[in-house]
Amino acid sequence: MSIPPVLTLRGIRKAYPGVVALDGVDLTLQAGEVHVLLGENGAGKSTLMKVISGAVARDAGEILLDGAPVELRGPRHAQSLGLGIIYQEFNLIPHLSAGENIFLGREPRRAAGVIDQATLLDRAQQLLNNLGVAIDARTAVSRLSVAQQQMVEVAKALSLNARVLIMDEPTSALTEQEIRELFAAIERLKARGVALVYISHRMEELFAIGDRVTVLRDGRHVGTRLIRDTSLPELVRLMVGRDLKEQFPKQAAGAGDEALRVEGLSRAGLLHDVSFTLRRGEVVGIAGLMGSGRTELARAIFGADRLDAGKIFVRGHEQVIASPRAAIALGLGFLTEDRKHQGLVLGLSVQENTCLPSVSVFSRFGVMQPAREASATAQRIADLRIKTPGPHQRVFNLSGGNQQKVVLGKWLTTDADILIFDEPTRGIDVGAKVEIYQLINQLAARGAAILMISSELPEILGMSDRILVMQAGRLAAEFSAADATQEKILAAALGRAGLSAA
């Protein structure tokens, strides 16, 4: 391309104790392109983006902005140069309005330093309108959906005249509809000449939105391609270093005895009369839109929330599950969808997190047995290929996908045989996904019963023996694996089909 790139990175290196996160990475960003960054969990994508946004100082390498070397002194400095980033955890203040958040710290002033609220709202509204989103700048951020909050972040970046905008896994918590809106906004940003960096583990997205793709492996640059000249298998080979045979290696284990049965579960406003049975060896997928009550169902079964009505039978016996502790004692496990808030104690180590639900198993006469904890953790690190310098690394320092693997490891360590997985592969790379699916197969083959909540329909279709669809707190439909199609599930999730026969 003849136009000089907006941003050029050359030979970027960054090491942490025990890990080389980036090792001589090159990257160029052109105005008006969507540049996809691809790589396995822990490959260094987020770290590279933090280098661009000034949040992380590189150990070596150069950064050129419009061809001239720059030294980034910190996030604010990077912002002032037009380098913006949207993290997965937003930095918005919930009780302020969208407009106030957009101009936080840079509020337009009247004489005497008073904030000019009218101008602020006008300009914020204009930014939001330009993005093509229907958000009132006066609405408090806490009342916006996740996708809308993301748009507020985008508007904020634009108000800073961002020329480079980085999105690190922006779609992992969005619905299909919201993803389409995000993509529309991205197209408009492209047209305005913004260079976008897009990180995602959802491979279908990059073909929908990307122009070029750069692949990282173990902190090294392994290739840059034009999206139209490449293919999924090629990219996967670059990422993982080998071919992936099958995305969904489903092996039906055959349903055995009843493991879990729920009857008439209800919780005011959230769950209405939900009943189903889960058998040993079975993987039952739960599909549904965000907010359809899937997580609420899981939490209620696990004793995390109170039930207003309904019965739970574990291995044929009715149980009152008053707390997660009671659920764990009955052999249940619950992988939560939000790893930062519900899944992990970020300040504790990989080992301490992995063993947390099993502390009583790993202690005798009130004393922990570190050797047993260590061996269980070593096993999980090996099985799940958790990328960490050691079991004592704080999980805070792991990459997103590797944190997710630790949450999974927690429940594999408990020997639970009734497992509820809520979005088990969120943030996990394509290669590791297949490994997790194989693990699910193994668990089922050993007689575990698995309830898998997922927003990724291919995953639901590819891995379930049976599929339940929830809509507005009710079970709207049930399909066998053979009958289910994406269309049928979607129709049921949207409430357009009555209770179709199984």
Partner 1 sequence: MKPRELLTHYGRQFGTLAGLLVLCAVLWALTPHFLTVSNLLNVAQQTAINAVIAVGLTFVIISGGIDLSVGSIVAFAGVVMATLLQRAVPVPLAILAGLGFGFGCGLANGLLISFGRLPPFIATLGMMSMARGGGLLFTDGRPVSGFDEGFRWLATGELLHVPVPVVVMLAVYAIAHFVLRLTPFGRYLFAMGGNEEAAVLSGVPVRFHKTLVYGVCGLLSALASVLLTARLNSAQPIAGINYELDAIAATVIGGTSLMGGQGSVVGTLIGALIMGVLRNGLNLLGVSSFVQQVVIGAVIILAVLLDTAFKRPKR
Ligand X SMILES: Nc1ncnc2c1ncn2[C@@H]1O[C@H](COP(=O)(O)OP(=O)(O)OP(=O)(O)O)[C@@H](O)[C@H]1O
Task: Name the site residues for Mg ion (rule: CB under 5 A).
Answer: 46, 399-400
Instruction: Report whether 355 contacts 376 (CB < 8 A).
Output: yes
Which residues contribute to the site for ligand X (CB under 6 A)? 16, 19, 21, 39, 41-47, 387, 397-402, 429
- Residue placing its CB nearer to Mg ion in the complex, 54 or 400: 400
Sequence-ordered list of residues with C-beta below 8 angstroms from that of 392, at least 6 positions apart, any chain = 349, 350, 351
Q: Which of 104, 159, 164 is nearest to 130 (CA)?
A: 159
Query: Which CB atom, from 336 or from 399, has the smaller least distance to Mg ion?
Result: 399
Binding pattern to partner 1, positions 389-428, x when CB under 8 A? -x-x-----------------x------------------
Rule CB under 8 A: choose which of 226, 268, 368, 445 binds partner 1.
368
Among 330, 274, 243, CA closest to 453: 274
Q: Which residues of 51-88 are buried (b: 16+ CB within 10 A; e: fewer)?
A: bbbbbbebeebebbbeeeebebeebeebbebbbbbbbb
The smaller minimum CB distance to Mg ion, of residues 46 and 393, is found at: 46
* Residue 49 Cβ vs Mg ion, minimum distance, rounded to whole Å: 8
CB of 36 to ligand X, least distance (A): 13
Provide the sign of the torsion angle of the four alpha carbons 196, 201, 205, 206, taken in this order: positive
Binding-site partner at residue 360 among ligand X, Mg ion, partner 1, none, CB < 5 to 8 Å by type: partner 1
Q: Is 211 helix (H, G, I), strand (E, B) or coil?
A: coil
Residue 348 binding result from partner 1, Mg ion, ligand X, none, given CB thresholds of 5 to 8 Å by partner type: partner 1
User: To the nearest whole angstrom, how small is the minimum distance from the Cβ of residue 45 to ligand X?
Assistant: 3
Three-state DSSP class for 15? strand
Distance CA 229, CA 270 (A): 47
Site stretch for partner 1 (CB under 8 A), options 130-138, 200-208, 350-358, 447-455? 350-358
Contact range with partner 1 by CB under 8 A, out of 153-161, 310-318, 347-355, 440-448 = 347-355
Q: Looking at beta carbons only, is 23 or 100 nearer to Mg ion?
A: 23
Task: Pick the binder of partner 1 from 56, 206, 428, 469 (CB under 8 A).
Answer: 56
Q: How many Cα atoms are found within 13 Å in the side-chain-facing hemisphere of 450?
A: 34
Per CB under 8 A, does 322 bind partner 1?
no
Q: Which is nearer to Mg ion, 280 or 405 (CB)?
A: 405
Measured from the CB atom, the residue of 79 and 397 that comes closer to ligand X is: 397
**First CA to last CA distance, the chain:** 55
Q: Report which residue type is found at 389.
A: P
Nearest approach, Cβ of 46 to Mg ion (angstroms)?
Answer: 3
Which residue from 252, 346, 491, 494 is in contact with partner 1, where contact means CB under 8 A? Answer: 346
Least CB distance from residue 333 to ligand X, whole Å? 22
Cβ–Cβ under 8 Å, residues 83 and 24: no
Mutual angle of helices 146-159 and 117-130, in 10-degree steps: 110
Sole binder of partner 1 in the list 229, 366, 371, 482 (CB under 8 A): 366
| DSSP annotation of 116 | -
Nearer of residues 22 and 284 to ligand X, judged by Cβ: 22
Helix axes 430-445, 232-240, angle to 10 degrees: 80
Cβ-based nearer residue to partner 1, 55 or 232 = 55
Q: Rounded to an integer, what distance in angstroms lies between the CA atom of residue 381 and that of residue 194?
A: 40
Residue ranges binding partner 1 (CB under 8 A) = 17-18, 54-57, 74, 302, 304, 323-325, 327-329, 334, 336, 341-348, 352, 356-357, 359-360, 363, 366-368, 370, 390, 392, 410
